[in-house]
Amino acid sequence: MTETRPRIAVVTFPGSNDDRDAALALEALGAEPVPVWHAETELPAVRAVVLPGGFSYGDYLRAGALARFAPVMKAVQALAAEGGLVLGICNGFQVLCEAGLLPGVLRPNESLDFVCRDVQLTVERTDTPFTTRCIHGQSLTIPVKHGEGCFFADADLLAELEASNHVVLRYQGESPNGSLAGIAGIVNAEGNVLGVMPHPEHAVDPLTGSTDGALILGSLVDATRHPAGVVAAV
């Protein structure tokens, strides 16, 4: 029996620069990536979409603030609303926060330095479509590379996020960017939209170091291939 390759859309905004790496990684993990230009008003027939890293619209105003108004974002919102899977990586995470698909906001790093290195993460949720290949409490090594990755929410919102288990990935030790509570990745209440600052697509090939990113993207491919019952509510 040959398994079909599930189609996963990868959006390119002007200024995206990890779109091709995301597509390569998804392809290596058994999916068929479908490139989508930001000016499209509709997504192809997919159950999942990746918003990749980069500097959409030059990060003008605030990172992600302009990309959220790109024509394709209405289709992304619609896909999310009907339970489709949305993964935002780095700039994609920033776009999802600005678009209101995820709570909180990503601010300039506390150090004001651009941080580019491997980080150690702890997996805190394995019941999301993005982490089924992980083990609870598992340690992952995945690179970050960003200037604005400091997750912020006010005290009430942060308490709510912690109480409702929205945190999927947390930095071990001191966070590389000043993120509150070491938050590296959060999921929405419905469990179908995930934003992460680390780049799983850069950690899928032993030639470039860790392959832990394949656990995240592989989970997404699994969930896209077997859609029934994968979306776990918080």
Applying CB under 8 A, among 35, 178, 209, 227 the residue interacting with other proteins is 178
Closer residue to other proteins in complex, CB, 19/98: 98
Closer residue to other proteins in complex, CB, 42/110: 110
Is residue 134 among the annotated active site residues? no
Q: How far, in Å, are 62, 99, 169 from residue 192 at the CA level?
A: 25, 15, 15
> How many other C-beta atoms are found inside a 10 Å radius of the C-beta of residue 2?
4
Applying CB under 8 A, among 39, 61, 81, 135 the residue interacting with other proteins is 61
Applying CB under 8 A, among 58, 78, 111, 226 the residue interacting with other proteins is 111
Give dist(CA 199, CA 3) in Å, integer. 27
For residue 35, what is the DSSP state?
Answer: E
Residue 26 DSSP SS3: helix
Question: Which range binds other proteins by CB under 8 A, 27-35, 119-127, 152-160, 199-207?
Answer: 152-160
Pair 216, 39: CB distance under 8 Å = no
How many chain residues interact with other proteins (CB under 8 A)? 17
Give dist(CA 125, CA 187) in Å, integer. 9
Residue 167 DSSP SS3: strand
Applying CB under 8 A, among 20, 62, 74, 145 the residue interacting with other proteins is 62
Closer residue to other proteins in complex, CB, 98/201: 98
Provide the annotated active-site residues: 90, 199, 201
Q: Would you tell me which residues interact with other proteins (CB under 8 A)?
A: 61-62, 65, 69, 98, 104-105, 107-112, 152-154, 178
